[in-house]
Structure formats: structure tokens, C-alpha cells
Chains A and B, each alone.
Chain A
Amino acid sequence: MSYVDISLGRLLLSLGLIAVAVVLSRRSRLDLEVDLIWGAVRGAAQLIAIGYVLLLLFNHQRPVWVLLLLAVMVVVAAWTASRRVEHGPPILVLLPRALVAIGLGALVAVVPVFVAVVPLHPWFEARYLVPISGMMLSNAMNVVALVFERIFGSTRSEADQVEALLALGATPRQALHRQIRTALRAALLPTINGLLTVGLVALPGMMTGQIVSGTPPEQAVRYQIVILYQLVAVAAVAGLVAVAFARRLLFTARAQLVLPRK
């Protein structure tokens, strides 16, 4: 494999791109300069750190280290997904549920692929397992965050409708049907749009990376197709599990609506 090496000096040069955005923000008085600089520094620091972690992992490949890293990634994803749910219950209530939704979603998408489509030898090969699981977890995180935000928000603003349905003898599932449908559609739409526009609008990051580092395009494309399908499965499973948890949190065992309080 051959690729153009990026020296530290040239990496720093790319900061000029952030400078462009900072100047534009300042000129247009968007007040985003601090966020932009902080984002650029933090993003770079996180990536450099994970780079070293991966290097360590590749050099000392043991299942326990790989699984530990994956576990940390799941926890961070769940924490992020349950942190800013405006109309939902407190984070300590949401966090374990987000963990299960994201974990299950990723599991359903990752395990069958690494068993049947891209068989790994050994099974814990970090070079494949970590980046691909990372993509799945990130998608599951976004889906779960959106589902929570939408369901708790819309149930609060449409509580009179939900209660009117309960009063007509609806089950919680029936009473919340509209809110759930809207939330799931909104959460799944970006993934579906990704499927529809891939290759036409964007060349996905992983495929681009593989091509840049010398993988033949037809193989890179196949990897990308598998990943896109995995992303669909992860979104569907994580979304549905999050919905089931949200519904349980919104109703008592006697089918009474209880809006969560922070």
C-alpha cells in the first residue's frame, strides 16, 4: 500500500481551514470562534489519542484490550445520546437504556458481518473490529438521541391527544403510535438518505480512506456496501429498542401517562 505521508508541519498547515471559518464567523458576528477553535483542538486531540490507542492495540493484540476499548466506546455513545434530551427523564434513568439500545443495535449489525461476510482471523482483529464498530456505535448514538428527544418532546406537547386516546380505551402502544412513527422516521431518514445518495453526492469516509491508502476501488466499494447495510440494521434495531424504553418510561403499569420530570 502506498500513500502520501502527512508530516506534522503539513498537518498544522491544515489548521488554515479552521482559520477561514473563524474569520468568517468573526466577520458575520456568529460568535462561534471559541466553539470552532475548541472543536478543532478537541477533535484533533481525540483523534491523535485514538491513533495511539489503536497503535498500541495493533502491537499488543489481545481480546481483552479490544473488548475494553469497544466497551468504552459504547459507554461514551450512550452517555452522549442521553445527555441532552430536553424533555426526557434525568440522565441516570436514560443512560442504562441508551446503553442497551446502542449495544444491541451494534451487536446485531456487527456480529453477523464479522462471522459471515468479512470473517476475521483472529476474531478480535482490531484493525477491522474497532473502526467498523465505531461507525455503527456512532450511528446508533445519533438514532437513540433523536428517538429520545423526539418522543419525549412530542408526547409532552401532544399530551392532551395521547390522554384523549387513552380515555377512549387505547393501549399505550396505540396512544403513542403517531409520536413513535414520527420519531422513528426522523431518526432513520438520514441513514436512508445516505443509501440513496451514496456515490452521487458523497463518497463515504471509509471507502475514500481505503482508496487513498491503496485498496483497489472495487474492494473498497464492497466494504462500503456492507457498511451501509450495517448502518441500516443498527439504526433500525437501536431505534426500536429506544422506542420501547421510552414508551415504558412514559406510562405506568396501569396505562397512565406520566410526563418525566428532570
Chain B
Amino acid sequence: MTSALEARGLVVVREGRRILDGASIVVKPGEAVAIQGPSGSGKSTFARALATLVEPDEGSVLLGGRQAHRIEPTSFRTRVAFLAQQPAMFGGTVRENLETGPSLHGKSLADAQARELMLAVGLDPSILPREASTLSGGEKQRVALARALANEPEILLLDEPTAALDPDAGERIVALLRDLSARGLSMVMVTHVEEHARALGGTRYRCERGRLSEDA
């Protein structure tokens, strides 16, 4: 079976330091993968390289068995969503934030779709007209998730989605991700919290000194 997303021997060198040192992973369709590791182990760079936001010095990323280099970056990133640790809200309302992805590709987002996305990430659709900048950290994280889902991606990459949240909000986000995974969405979550990596309920990897190894 073709992998959904794959990294082969990624090496990223910055200022003489090997941040990634031959990191590889295979994400099967529908699989949820948690990558756990201490800070500075290279896991965030790995997630960014998977999202093609960082150019690896060596190695390659494959989407559906096809080299990422052969896919237009705009198309790749529509199919593979990436969420930063503290996702930036764009100016405007929550609804305008949700519309960003589709509007970049000349599409619109119907009211019903916007409400559906809000429910999918556990938010009340009544906050759609609110200014996105006024939301709490947990709400922003969810809006960013809904914003990424508006592009209908095949794979979700999350860089420390719980790091900026209080423990309760963090656990709720992981539960939400597990739900999305149960509905068939492939995902890779990077975290330094072991409980969150376990709670995702899928394959677990450890990241150490720029390399990945599967957790027993």
C-alpha cells in the first residue's frame, strides 16, 4: 500500500548544526502518528520539513508516493495542512479566518460549511462573527485547526498543538485530534508531553538528536 506521507533520510543543517540527521517516517493512510522528544531534538524542524516549509539539505518527502519536489508547493500544502505551535490569527473575524484557505484557491466557504467546521473542532458556531484576535489560546488553536480543515486536507501536521495551552485545554485538543483521526484523517503530531503522545492512540516515535525511532 502507498504511504500517505513519507520522509526519507531528512537532513537539515543550520549554522553548522545537524538539526535533522537522517530522520525517516512512513505515515499510512488514516494513521495517527505522535512524535515525542525533548526540546531541541529536532522534532519541530521535522514537522516543518514534512510540510515543505523548510528545505532539507538531504533526503526527500513523498506525498502519496510522489516526490514533494514534483508537486506544486501550493497544491502540496493544500493537501497537507500544517499547524504551528501558536498559530497566528489573521486580522478579521473567525469566519474570515476560516475562509482564508478556500479563498486563496478562488473558492468560497458556505455558511453551512463554516458552522460544520466549528462543530468539528468543538466550537460554538455563534462565535463566527467574533474578532479572531479576541479568542483565548485554546480557541485560537481550534480556529486554526478548523481553518486548516477548510482546505479539506488529506494529512494534518501539528507542531506542539498543546504546548501553549493549560493542561485541560491541551487534553481536550488531543481528544479532538483523536476524534478526527477516528474519522480517517491521517495526522502527525509533534509533542514533548508523553501523555499526549499516548493519548493520540496511534503509532509513536521518539525524536532524539535529529533522528526518529519507533517506540515499542
A interface residues with partner B (beta carbon < 8 Å): 158, 160-161, 163-171, 174, 252, 254-257
Contacts and interface: CB of A to CB of B under 8 A. Distances in A.
A252 B69 CA distance: 13
Given A161-B88, A161-B90, A255-B74, A168 B151 contact: yes
B77 A256 contact: no
Given A167-B81, A255-B73, A160 B100 contact: no
A256 B74 contact: no
B54 A171 contact: no
Contact of B101 (A161, A169, A252): A169
Residue from A164, A166, A169 having most chain B Cβ neighbours under 10 A? A169
A164 B105 CA distance: 15
B68 to A, nearest CB: 9
B51 A165 contact: no
A169 B81 CA distance: 9
Interface string B170-202: 000000000000000000000000000000000
Contacts of B147: 168
Contacts of A169: 74-75, 77-78, 101, 104-105, 151
Contact of B82 (A160, A167, A255): A167
Contacts of A166: 53, 73, 77
Given A164-B87, A168-B104, A169-B104, 5 more contacts: A163-B84, A167-B83, A168-B77, A169-B77, A257-B53
Interface string B37-63: 000000000000001111100000000
A160 B151 contact: no
20 contacts: A158-B88, A160-B87, A160-B88, A161-B90, A164-B84, A165-B90, A165-B104, A166-B53, A166-B77, A167-B81, A167-B82, A167-B83, A167-B84, A168-B77, A168-B100, A170-B104, A252-B55, A254-B69, A254-B73, A255-B73
**4 A-B pairs closest in CB distance:** A169-B78, A255-B73, A160-B88, A167-B82
B104 A256 contact: no
B3 interface: no
B86 A167 contact: no
A169 to B, nearest CB: 4
A101 to B, nearest CB: 27
B71 to A, nearest CB: 10
Contact of A168 (B55, B69, B86, B101): B101
Contacts of A164: 84, 87-88, 90, 144
Interface in B80-134: 81-84, 86-88, 90, 100-101, 104-105
Contacts of A167: 51, 53, 77, 81-84, 148
Contacts of B55: 252, 254, 256
A170 B84 contact: no
A161 B88 CA distance: 5
Contacts of A174: 104
A84 to B, nearest CB: 26
B86 A160 contact: yes
B43 to A, nearest CB: 17
Nearest to B147: A168
Contacts of B87: 160, 164
Contacts of B54: 256
